[in-house]
Chain A
Amino acid sequence: MLRVLALDEERDPGVESGDSVETEPERLDPSMFGLLYERHRLSVYRYLRARTRSEDEALDLAGVTFERALTGLGGFRRRDGGVQAWLLRIARNTAIDAHRRQRPTVDLAGADAQLGRMAVEADRLQGERGDVLDLVARLPGDQREALLLRYAGGLTAKEIGVVIGKREGAVQKQIERGLAALREAF
């Protein structure tokens, strides 16, 4: 069995990982998946939680993400950016698909949705955290996505580039612009 990753703790999205992509296996197989899941579940959840309105929704999308990943293990290639970038790319597509294919019911329930947003916002708008999330939400799409993948997902600029299809330098610029905008806002 191939060694996958250091397994003693979940990767902290906020800390640059000591594991380089080069130490990861070229391919994955199902026997590794439980360990892979435990290692990355938190970063996947945090990224999805930052994109969604509730814990339940983020957990549901995280479940779909790992189900997709399990099914698509054969499609993983280390050269595509490593395990975490691969998982967050699946998570991002899952979140986009979910938004894109929301059934009318979500929008139909006008008052419910509005009340729900208020409830969720009330939950999230707690002190500094709420302020920061609110400011990030107002950033242009590219900057917002780069910051979410960097600080919620824990990816490097190079890995983010793989996820969103941009060059590392371009991603770094988006991150810098986003941080500059936040600095102005603060």
Chain B
Amino acid sequence: MSRMIVRNGRLLDPSRDLDLGAGSASLLIEDGRIVALATDGEAIPEEGAEVVDAEGAWIVPGLVDVHAHLREPGQEYKEDLASGGTAAVAGGFTQVACMANTDPVNDDPSVTKYILDRAEKESPAKIRVIAAATRGLRGEVMTEMMALREAGAIAFSDDGATIMDAGVMRRVLEYSKMANAPVVVHAEDCALRAGGVVNEGSVATRLGLPGNPAAAEEIMVARDIRLASLTGAHLHVAHVSTAGAVHMIRKARDAGLRVTAEVTPHHLTLTDEATEGFDTSTRVAPPLRSAADIESLRAGLAEGVIDVIATDHAPHATYEKEVEFTEAPPGMLGLETAVSVSLALVRDNTLSPLEFVRRMSTNGAKVLGLEGGTFREGAPGDVALIDPEREWTYDPAQGFSKSRNSPWAGERFTGRVTATIVDGRLVYHIDRGVLIR
């Protein structure tokens, strides 16, 4: 029997609304599962246990990223399950859901199984698979959702290849109910976006770059909410970026629809002004928006209209980004910076520490129907330690991802993940590095 005790930190468990002051609670994990949460001096015998001292840190359920691109199979020069999984645990994530735009596309049970087999061997984080909603991400013929589910897929999405045909989208949503899995949408009207690469507005006008209007996102959010209403399916809106979309999702939830949503750390903290200087690491889809949008996103997140903070970790090779702004592939790294970037919302009182953890962990597990995100007895022994005061300077070259496309290169952060435990095994420690591959 393996035993681990985590103690001395401030323990936060959103699933039970627990916020226990530093040193007042300890966590006991046996054989990879949570067996006890001891409070107020209850003694846990330490014999035979590995003790993890969390002094100065928050002890939180392992973080859950509902949206990442891990690039394997097919684009291993950008990232693979080993490097992506390692970057994940270095960022406190014990579970990561990866998108289907691999090569070949994950639209077939054989690809899903391949990813899960490889991840089992290579990744210190637990990899969850989001399979394609339509074959080849072409938005025409739906995938074999039942077989994909059987193979291990936990959600369906064409992500950046938005399904433009409302008839196809309706069938995908209807069918997904039988597979009992959410459909994740990258909401963007491709015709209206046209060649837009930055938020349409004064910054785009000044920089002379083609604009992508907020309406391109909002039209699709509106359509998909109507389809969620028509079908009763679980719609999950990926990386919400506009005030209008937040407004519509709020109304949909008020109406009782099964609509959930995520927002990225970059859409919560950066505006389109980050593109001044034409740094291609600021090219993301959807684009960075305005300060007013950020305000609405933060309000929506605080209210719970937006359930989770998701990274949309999208590695690209340096040479792919060393091109014209319009030619650079969209996306930025996220796994290793998500906590440090998003802690800004705790410091400005948008979120309490407990609500921050809920959106980084508990809610992600809930949206995707996963175990974890909780310290209840019997839950997986997944833990992250976050030191909210620790200062550090981010250097992508020193990180675990294979890629370096981050607008935060050289950024001085306050707050960092200091250790990560997966199934009762310490897999990452800030002073000792990655411990298990």
A binds B: no
